């Protein structure tokens, strides 16, 4: 017969296996239930081996493409998209692994995200050139796309964008440990229980329906893995943008800074003002009293800014459409 200590170890192992199995089943069933309660709002578009969720509304050109910040997607444009859709075609999407989209290859760096966005717009059937709106980390991705595909971009709006010359790109050790632990335990369902405590959404400016969907979808295993990978690529992303940044010529460009930001965020207002100088038609504004999520806290202000760039893009298109004068 096994010794008492061996029996205790076997019993502990059996309990751990049961708990892990139960957690795995719980996570699987919970993800299915979440998708049943919150079905995808748009359509699937292949981005090269995996499908991304694309939600478009409105009519007229140029089409506005919305690129959300870290860990965010379609849900975070819920307050802004309806305001824009009454004036032009507008599309929001979920990056690979986030929201409703299928998981993509790792790492989730700016280079890969920009390439997948190019594949998305090419396969979507949406007409370009586009007015790109990038929030936070999305500002890095839209800028990289604009540098690489200038003919596909009619205008650029950057909402409190992250910047490669900003503060330290490395995560603090405690944050790395905490979030890394969440990612590792995601298959067992633990983050689903902890996220509402660690990152509550009670005070979030998200509209109620979008908040409920985001609260459920952020606990997906693929979502946590994707966010963790994007976070881990911050320094690499800054290096990529530093190497590839260039003049945006006469591209309509509007950069909006949050007027209310945490002191440790650094002097992004000055960086944003300098970023606006990348175009001869660049403009910088500060949204006084608004925090980082400008599109949720000040959607009317952001809508006016985006529509200003849309109007400039339409005027540019009209000029290009005029027949050339004979020699």
pLDDT level of residue 21 (50, 70, 90 thresholds): very low
The residue range of the domain holding 136 is 43-171+205-318
Maximum average pLDDT range among 195-199, 252-256, 261-265, 322-326: 252-256
Q: What is d(CA 176, CA 174) in angstroms, rounded to the nearest whole number?
A: 5
Q: What is d(CA 11, CA 286) in angstroms, rounded to the nearest whole number?
A: 61
Residue 6 is assigned to a structural domain of this protein = no
Between residues 15 and 47, which one has the greater pLDDT? 47
Residue 31 is assigned to a structural domain of this protein = no
Q: Tell me which residue of 197, 216, 25, 52 sits closest to 122, measured CA to CA.
A: 52
230 exposure class (CB count in 10 Å sphere: 0-12, 13-18, 19+) = buried
Residue 4 is assigned to a structural domain of this protein = no
Mean pLDDT estimate for the chain: 88
Residue 292 is assigned to a structural domain of this protein = yes
The CA-to-CA distance between both ends of the chain, in Å, stands at 103
Looking up residue 292, the CATH number of its domain turns out to be 3.40.50.1820
Is 115 in contact with 141 (CB distance < 8 Å)? no
Q: Kindly report each contact of residues 210-215 with a partner whose C-beta sits within 8 Å and lies 24 or more positions away, as own/partner.
A: 210/75, 210/76, 210/78, 210/79, 211/75, 212/37, 212/38, 213/38, 213/75, 214/72, 214/75, 214/76, 214/99
Q: What is d(CA 318, CA 35) in angstroms, rounded to the nearest whole number?
A: 44
Total tally of structural domains belonging to the chain: 1
- Confidence (pLDDT) at 285: 95
pLDDT digits (tens, 9 = 90+) for 39-91: 999 999 999 889 999 999 999 999 999 999 999 999 999 999 999 999 999 99
- Confidence (pLDDT) at 195: 83
Taking 50 as the threshold, does the pLDDT of residue 35 lie above it? yes
Maximum average pLDDT range among 18-22, 95-99, 193-197: 95-99
Residue 214 is assigned to a structural domain of this protein = yes
Residue 314 is assigned to a structural domain of this protein = yes
Residue 311 is assigned to a structural domain of this protein = yes
What totals of helices (H) and strands (E) does the chain contain, helices first?
12, 8
Residue 257 is assigned to a structural domain of this protein = yes
């Amino acid at each position: 017969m096994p010794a008492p200590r061996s029996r205790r170890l076997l019993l502990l192992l059996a309990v751990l296996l049961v708990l892990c199995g139960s957690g795995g089943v719980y996570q699987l069933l919970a993800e299915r239930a979440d998708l049943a309660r919150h079905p995808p709002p748009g359509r699937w578009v292949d981005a090269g081996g995996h499908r991304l969720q694309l939600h478009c509304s409105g009519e007229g050109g140029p089409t506005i493409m919305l690129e959300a910040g870290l860990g965010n997607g379609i849900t975070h444009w819920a307050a802004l998209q309806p305001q824009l859709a009454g004036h032009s075609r507008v599309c929001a999407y979920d990056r690979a692994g986030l929201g409703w989209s299928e998981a993509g290859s790792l790492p989730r760096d700016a280079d890969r995200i920009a390439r997948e966005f190019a594949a998305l717009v090419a396969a979507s059937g949406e007409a370009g050139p586009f007015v790109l709106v990038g929030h936070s980390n999305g500002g890095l991705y839209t800028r990289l796309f604009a540098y690489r595909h200038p003919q596909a971009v009619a205008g650029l709006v950057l909402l409190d964008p992250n910047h490669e010359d900003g503060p330290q790109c490395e995560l603090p050790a405690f944050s790395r440990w905490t979030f890394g632990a969440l990612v590792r335990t995601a298959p067992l369902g633990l983050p689903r229980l902890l996220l509402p405590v660690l990152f509550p959404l009670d005070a979030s400016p998200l509209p109620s329906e979008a908040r409920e969907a985001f609260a459920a979808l952020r606990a997906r295993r693929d979502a946590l893995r994707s966010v963790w990978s994007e976070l881990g690529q911050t320094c690499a992303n800054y290096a990529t943008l530093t190497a590839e940044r260039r003049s945006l010529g006469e591209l309509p460009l509007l950069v909006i800074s949050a007027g209310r930001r945490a002191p440790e965020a650094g002097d992004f207002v000055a960086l944003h003002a300098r970023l606006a100088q990348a175009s001869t038609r660049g403009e910088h504004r500060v949204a006084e009293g608004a925090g980082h999520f400008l599109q949720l806290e000040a959607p009317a202000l952001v809508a006016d800014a985006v529509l200003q760039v849309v109007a400039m893009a339409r005027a540019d298109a009209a000029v290009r459409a005029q027949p050339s004068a004979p020699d």
